[in-house]
Amino acid sequence: MTDFPKGFVWGTATSSHQVEGNNTANDFWLMEHTEPNMFVEPSGDACDQYHLYEQDVLLLKELGFNAYRFSIEWSRIEPEKGEISHAELEHYRRMTTFIRDQGLTPIVTLHHFTVPVWFACEGGFASKDAPAHFANYAGILADVLGDVWGQVCTINEINIPMRFFHDGFLKDQARFAPFLEAATKRSGSDMFSTYFVGDIDAAADGMKQAHQLAVKAIRTRSPSVPVGLCVSMQDEQAIEGGEALRDAAVARCIDAFLDVTKGDDFIGVQTYSRSVYGPEGKLKVPEDAETTQMGYEFYPEALEATIRYAAAYTGLPVMVTESGIGTDDDSRRKAYVETALKGVQNCLADGLDVQGYCYWSMLDNYEWMLGYRPTFGLIAVDRVTQTRTVKPSAQWLGDIAKANAF
Ligand code: BGC
């Protein structure tokens, strides 16, 4: 049995749109309800965590976790431009305070993919006013939550649109055109732009500025809270001849975003698998490799490599803000996390400052375009009765958290 450092953070993670339910004022809800659309099903009630957060937090406490990473839904706080909902602010204050009162650290994400429809209608993060809007929202949250939140992640996976774009997934605009056309029509704005669709370069710049302005806005009001950015990373490997393409992808999709973390308190690392580049580009996952429900290669070793990369590049302490697997075989979840945690321990043994590990996800939840099919959760959810069923992996990881040893 090897101990983790005292104070090591053991969390699980979720995001507002994936678990709260009925986030009717954001861009995803709008896109889920156009005809045609790119979602296998709408988010609907999700896991109704908006109402059930107390029982969920108590469950996490009972299992042994000492942190909960969740996100605030901007479209609830500011459903129309400049119109702030004090009742929703109060909701998140109650929830954050409850988490803290139960002895868990509330790790609060300000932006996890969704934005209010009005913001998307102005061009999303590609609009010139976007960074200021986001910083304003961050400041409002800091005014209300500044004495109760424990750690803040400004933007979740700031680099994912660029990664998808670079990999070709978003390059095929023709594939997305009918969906975007339907969403544009429904939104009533020709500028409608979301996290995944629109001017990706301009949006990336906007998000980088938004992060930096938000950090400032938070520091002025809530100076002692650690603030950081969450970056999606894979172990980027190359076979002979693939090095240049790998390096180009890393420079554009990862380094360019890590560059805006100077002066932050931590870097949030989120990892699910690896990428391997050959002379022609990214290689397909080998036929004989074990894959997850997402089609990713089962490769938990990636976590160690990405922690090392992020720590070396930024010089910041690392928080693992997401690591997990979509599988219907819970024993593979344990195997995945076990290897991932061994990687964390190897980093710690080498003196790296790894502050915590948040498993994605607490609950089986809304996996965006794939709906409720992939199951990442430590806890299953009956979406009619909203009954939670704890999986063996949750008990197992909770026991590790309680013992702070593995
Ligand atoms: C995202 C989550 C998502 C998870 C699993 C991460 O990219 O932050 O929203 O559910 O991966 O695909």
Mean pLDDT of the chain: 97
27 lines ligand 1 (CB under 6 A): no
Amino acid at 403: A
From the CA of 270, how far away is ligand 1's center (Å)? 9
pLDDT band per the 50, 70, 90 thresholds, residue 164: confident
Q: Is the pLDDT of residue 171 over 90?
A: no
Question: Of all protein residues, whose CA lies closest to atom 10 belonging to ligand 1?
Answer: 367
Domain membership flag for residue 1? no
Given a cut of 80, is residue 173 above it in pLDDT? no
Query: Which residues have CB under 8 Å from 102's CB, separation 6+?
Result: 57, 58, 61
Give the list of residues 6+ apart from residue 69 with CB closer than 8 angstroms, or none.
11, 12, 13, 14, 107, 108, 109, 153, 321, 358
Q: What is the structure's pLDDT at 174?
A: 75
Decide: 236 in ligand 1 pocket, CB within 6 A: no
pLDDT for 172 equals 65
Check residue 238 and give its pLDDT.
98
Give the number of the atom of ligand 1 that is nearest the alpha carbon of residue 294.
12
In angstroms, the CA 116 to CA 195 distance is: 11
**50-64, 89-103, 129-143, 173-187: range with lowest mean pLDDT:** 173-187
- Ligand 1 geometric centre to CA of 122 (Å): 25
For residue 128, the enclosing domain spans: 9-403
Confidence band (pLDDT; 50, 70, 90) for 1? low
4 domain residue, yes or no: no
Domain assignment of residue 304, yes or no: yes
Residue % of the chain over a pLDDT of 70: 99
Domain count, the chain: 1
Ligand 1 contacts CB of residue 322 (under 6 A):
yes
* Residue 360 Cβ contacting ligand 1 at under 6 Å: yes
Any domain includes 43: yes
Q: Would the pLDDT of 88 be above 80?
A: yes
Pairing of strands 388-390, 379-381: antiparallel
Mean pLDDT value of segment 119-129: 97
Q: How far is the CA of 362 from the centre of ligand 1 (A)?
A: 12
Per-residue confidence at 231, pLDDT binned at 50, 70, 90?
A: very high
How far does residue 220's CA lie from ligand 1's centre (Å)?
30
* pLDDT surpasses 90 at 296: yes
Percentage of the chain with pLDDT > 90? 93
Q: Is 157 in the pocket of ligand 1 (CB under 6 A)?
A: yes
Q: What is the pLDDT of residue 235?
A: 98
Q: How many beta carbons lie within 10 A of that of residue 234, not counting itself?
A: 24
Which residue has 């992808």 as its token pair? Answer: 249
Q: Is the pLDDT of residue 127 over 70?
A: yes
**CATH at 109:** 3.20.20.80
Residue 349 neighbours by CB under 8 Å, 6+ apart:
none
